[in-house]
């Protein structure tokens, strides 16, 4: 893998992990276009850990308060922790039992493109939603957000897009829906990395390129997350639908015409 490929893929991972446009879809399409060799899971783990650092940086105060509150047995913190655990179960189940089927989907640009079109449709539907008044989802709402996160294991389905949209439909306030979504992403990202470590083996990528990829994905992820929160506050979350539709149509055109 060249330095240019590392930079491009790390930037894509950092920007699209949090913007509701599907990082997996972008990486799958970019990997095909850039002809990046398959099988180097180490690099994939590194850039995902970079974006994990971005979440920890942005929500460090919320996470500190949550952990502190749990240890002090504060009801609000215990409830949020329980909801996060409940919401994490569907993705953990899907990732463990359906990983082979999910991996095969990454090799199909048609599937990726169709999933991007679905993501765009979900995002567009949020423009008709009124702002909710809940700080946290109900138990049922947490399960629905968790199912959305599990569906987002498919390339082209945006994890942030689907989980935040589901949170909005469940009546959660905009920024609180984002907070729940990204706090839910922490065990998901970390768990995915742990599951892939055993299959990663030794990497053919130079260590310095690994560090470069980690740093770029962390920095761009931080900036993307801040940008998303601004768009969410301004009520412009649905505008990302147009990008997903355009990219999905582009992917379909390239795939079906052999261009």
Q: Which residues pair with 134 in a beta bridge?
A: 172
CA 252 and chain centroid, separation: 22
Average pLDDT, the chain: 87
| pLDDT tier at 202, thresholds 50, 70, 90 | low
Closest by Cα among 199, 152, 130, 127 to 21: 152
Lowest mean pLDDT among 88-102, 144-158, 169-183: 88-102
Mean pLDDT calculated for residue range 237-247? 94
| pLDDT tier at 85, thresholds 50, 70, 90 | very high
Alpha-carbon dihedral of residues 160, 91, 212, 2, nearest 10 degrees? -100
Q: What is the pLDDT of residues 141-170, one digit of tens each?
A: 999 999 999 999 888 899 999 999 999 999
CA distance 186 to 124: 26
Mean pLDDT calculated for residue range 209-219? 92
| pLDDT tier at 8, thresholds 50, 70, 90 | confident
CA distance 175 to 83: 17
Instruction: Enter the tokens of residue 133.
Output: 């008044």
Q: Are 105 and 112 in contact (CB under 8 A)?
A: yes
User: What pTM was estimated for this model as a whole?
Assistant: 0.88
Mean pLDDT calculated for residue range 88-105? 80
Q: Which residues pair with 172 in a beta bridge?
A: 134
| pLDDT tier at 188, thresholds 50, 70, 90 | confident
**More reliable by pLDDT, 37 or 112:** 112
CA distance 246 to 252: 10
Mean pLDDT calculated for residue range 83-102? 86
Closest by Cα among 87, 62, 65 to 229: 62
Closest by Cα among 97, 109, 137, 41 to 258: 109
């Amino acid at each position: 893998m060249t330095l240019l490929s590392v930079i491009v893929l790390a930037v894509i991972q950092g920007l699209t992990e949090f913007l509701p446009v599907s990082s997996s879809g972008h990486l799958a399409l970019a990997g095909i276009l850039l002809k990046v060799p398959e099988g180097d899971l180490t690099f994939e783990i590194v850039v995902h850990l970079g974006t994990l650092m971005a979440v920890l940086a942005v929500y460090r105060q919320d996470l500190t308060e949550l952990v502190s509150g749990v240890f002090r047995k504060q009801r609000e913190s215990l409830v949020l922790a329980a909801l996060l655990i409940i919401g994490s179960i569907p993705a953990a189940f899907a990732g463990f039992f359906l990983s082979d089927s999910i991996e095969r989907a990454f090799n199909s640009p048609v599937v990726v493109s169709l999933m991007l079109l679905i993501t765009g449709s979900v995002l567009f539907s949020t423009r008709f939603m009124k702002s909710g008044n809940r700080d946290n989802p109900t138990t049922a709402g947490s399960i629905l957000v968790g199912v959305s996160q599990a569906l987002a294991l498919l390339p082209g389905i945006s994890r942030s897009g689907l989980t935040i949209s589901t949170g909005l439909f469940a009546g959660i306030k905009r920024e609180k829906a984002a907070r729940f979504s990204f706090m839910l992403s922490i065990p998901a990202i970390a768990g995915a990395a742990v599951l892939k470590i055993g299959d990663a083996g030794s990497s053919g990528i130079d260590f310095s390129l690994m560090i470069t990829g980690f740093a770029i994905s962390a920095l761009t992820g931080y900036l993307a997350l801040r940008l998303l929160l601004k768009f969410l506050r301004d009520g412009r979350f649905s505008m990302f639908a147009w990008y997903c539709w355009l990219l999905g149509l582009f992917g379909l055109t390239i795939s079906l015409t052999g261009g």
